[in-house]
Amino acid sequence: MKLQLLEDLSSLLAFSRKVSNQKGENFNLISLLNMERDEMRTHSRIIGELLELSIWND
């Protein structure tokens, strides 16, 4: 019984990951550009630019 529950849960998690990937929910531009470790020059600048654009578009 417990083994079947674990197998069912494993299948459900695999399906959930597949759907998330197909929807692009796990897409990360920073990772794609291999810039995860350079947060001050990437994340912060990108967020700053987006905030500045939103101020001018209001």
| Three-class DSSP category at 6 | helix
pLDDT 10s digits, 7-42: 999 999 999 999 998 999 988 887 888 877 776 777
Radius of gyration of the chain from Cα atoms? 19
CA distances (Å), 46 to each of 27, 34, 53, in order? 16, 15, 11
**How far from chain centre, in Å, is Cα 30?**
10
What predicted TM-score, i.e. pTM, was given to this entire model?
0.49
Q: Which domain holds residue 48?
A: 2-56
What's the domain count of the chain? 1
pLDDT at site 26: 85
